[in-house]
Amino acid sequence: MSTPLTARILEEHANAAAALPPAGPTAARRRTAIAALTASGLPTSRDENWKYANLRPLERLRFIPATATPALAATDLPAAIPGFARYVFVDGAFAPALSAPLDSTAAAVTPLAAAPDAGQASAAMAVQTPAPGAPADERFALLNEAFATDGAAIRVAAHSGEPVRLELVFVASADALTGASYPRVELQLDSQAHLLLIERHVSAGPHASFVNSAVTVDLGCGATLHHYRLQELAARAIVFDTLSAVVGRDACYRLHGISIGAQSARSTLAVRLAGERADLTLAVVALGERQQVQDTYARVEHAAPRARTEQVFRGISAGRARVAFNGKVVVGSEAHGTDSRQSLRGLLAGPEAEIDVRPQLEIYTDEVRCSHGATAGKLDENMLFYLLSRGLEPEVAQRLLKWAFLEDVVARIGVAELRRQIEERLAQQLPEPAARAEST
């Protein structure tokens, strides 16, 4: 499938190929990825699962990776989270001077540029043929694989005691006119491993960066991963993000996504519950204002018996923003005893704002318990009047209710300092402090 866009990607790739280091995803893998991408093409807004995404910026973006690394100081980054090792990547490239490596024998974090083969086994997952019947929604990961020069290969071994604590900070600094940023994470948890992972995407400066991130997650039997993903890029940034995960038997994956920044953000989350009793919680918060587009597509595939999914989405759309969440759960013929719940809620905070929440269920077996609820609406008039009748200003009451709308998802963030930072960031957009902490 050759379109002007794929032709241009191919051309930029050919021009860049000589300059791209042989390390990272190896040259051979890059070639495979670009070939696959050229064959399938990137999604268009005619694709069912891409109709809410903003794909127009692709026409004017450059795909070649940014190379000029700016001088950043630790103070340009979000405050460190106590107890968490930190790895910083600037425009996709590892920045050792800004990092505070892990002091643990249970886990290894290897910059992909330094160890080309480190994460190859799990990285291959991203290019696996999607399950039959599933549209190829993970094609932006091919774009990442074709151009990425660096990234983090993480392997956590089985261990006892405290979970491994790790923070990855991806900083976008280049303007899209000079080059793109390709954050890449290849994560593998061995059987019984336990990891708390914070993955942050931030900007250095106000540039209109183009970020295309790809994350692969492989959870072995009985492994536990708490994964906090924060997208807080600058207001003019464009981001396409693809996460592909496979969850093994008795493994537990808690995925928390907070999407606040960027002009236009699309996140594709594809999780396959491959082992019996795999357990997934997928909780996403997205805020849009101005003309922001915040689009998430989550596809959860139950491919083994007695697995459990909980999908929770809370989105607020203000100004002329569009906030969308399309959550699909596919229960395969072998997945009897599936327990799947979806609670998707959108809040319209302005007459010109747009909310699209869409739960989808495809069930190919009996003996399953699947529930879904989806609502999109304005603030509850009864709640609003109750607060006004207690003397609160209308603006205060509205902010309070917006905050309350997000609260049950934000409260699930188990890392106290991270939760504090997220609440602070949310409060900038909903500028009324929630006084939950003032209780007893």
Partner 1 sequence: MTASRTPLLAINGLHVTVEGKQILNGLTLQVRAGEVHAIMGPNGSGKSTLAHVLAGRPGYQITAGTVSYEGRDLLALAPEERARQGVFLGFQYPVEIPGVNNVYLLKAAVNAVRKQRGLPEVDAFEFLGLVRDKMKLMHIEDSFLSRGVNEGFSGGEKKRNEVLQMLVLEPRLAILDETDSGLDIDALKVVAAGVNSQRSPERACVLVTHYQRLLEYVVPDIVHVLVRGRIARSGDRTLALELERRGYDWVSGEAA
Looking at the Cβ atoms of 73 and 435, the one nearer to partner 1 is: 435
The least distance separating partner 1 from the CB of residue 312, rounded to whole angstroms, comes to 14
Q: How many CB atoms lie within 10 A of CB 252?
A: 18
Considering the complex, state which of residue 380 and residue 424 has its C-beta at the smaller distance from partner 1.
Answer: 380
In terms of CB distance, is 100 or 392 closer to partner 1?
392
Answer for which of 392, 412, 420, 427 binds partner 1 (CB under 8 A) is 392
Binders of partner 1 among residues 367 to 386 (CB under 8 A) are: 380-383, 385-386
Q: Does position 388 bind partner 1 by CB under 8 A?
A: yes
Which of helix, strand or coil describes residue 336? Answer: coil
Least CB distance to partner 1 at residue 432 (A): 10
Q: Is 412 exposed, middle or buried (0-12, 13-18, 19+ CB in 10 A)?
A: middle
Query: Please, what is the minimum distance in Å from the beta carbon of residue 437 to partner 1?
Result: 10
- Minimum CB distance to partner 1 smaller for 352 or for 408: 408
Shortest spacing between CB 311 and partner 1, in angstroms: 19
User: Which stretches does DSSP call E strand in 173-278?
Assistant: 184-189, 194-203, 210-219, 224-232, 238-247, 252-259, 264-273
User: Segment contacting partner 1 (CB under 8 A): 146-154, 178-186, 268-276, 390-398?
Assistant: 390-398
94 binds partner 1 (CB under 8 A): no
Distance between CA atoms of 334 and 337, rounded to whole angstroms? 9
In the list 157, 387, 420, 425, the residue contacting partner 1 (rule: CB under 8 A) is: 387
141 binds partner 1 (CB under 8 A): no
Least Å distance between CB 202 and partner 1? 27
Tokens 């450059």 appear where? 62
Q: Which amino acid does the sequence have at 175?
A: D
**What is the smallest separation between the CB atom of 435 and partner 1, expressed in angstroms?**
4
Three-class DSSP category at 80? coil
Per CB under 8 A, does 64 bind partner 1?
no
φ/ψ (deg, to 5) at 350: -175, 155
CB of residue 425 to partner 1, shortest distance in Å: 17
Cα–Cα distances (Å) from 310 to 6, 283, 300, in that order, read 37, 8, 10
Q: 100 vs 383, which CB is nearer to partner 1? A: 383
- At residue 23, the 3 state secondary structure works out as coil
Q: What is the DSSP string of 24-76?
A: TTTHHHHHHHHHHHHHH----TTSGGGTTS--GGGGG---SBP-------GGG
- Listed in sequence order, the DSSP H helices in 306-358 are none
For partner 1, the closer CB: 260 or 397: 397
Do 225 and 189 form a contact (C-beta atoms < 8 A)?
Answer: yes
Pick 334 or 393: Cβ nearer partner 1 = 393
By CB under 8 A, the residues from 325 to 344 that bind partner 1 are none
Closest distance between partner 1 and the C-beta of residue 403, in Å? 7
Shortest separation between residue 142's beta carbon and partner 1, angstroms: 40
Which of 137, 218, 225, 233 lies closest to 183 in space, CA to CA? 233
Whole-number Cα distances in Å, 323 to 106, 168, 259? 39, 26, 10
Q: Give residues 393-412 in contact with partner 1 (rule: CB under 8 A).
A: 393-394, 396-397, 400-401, 403-408
Query: In this complex, which beta carbon is closest to partner 1, that of residue 134 or of residue 384?
Result: 384
Q: What is the spatial distance between Cα 187 and Cα 185, in angstroms, rounded to a whole number? A: 6
Does 439 bind partner 1 (CB under 8 A)? Our answer is yes
Size of the residue set binding partner 1 (CB under 8 A): 30
For the CB of residue 370, give the shortest distance to partner 1 in the complex, in Å: 24
Which residues does 353 contact at the CB level (< 8 Å), separation at least 6?
A: 288, 317, 318, 319, 320, 321, 322, 323
Backbone angles phi, psi at 128, to 5 degrees: -60, 145
Q: Which of 133, 161, 351, 391 binds partner 1 (CB under 8 A)?
A: 391
Which residues of this chain interact with partner 1, rule CB under 8 A?
380-383, 385-394, 396-397, 400-401, 403-408, 434-436, 438-440
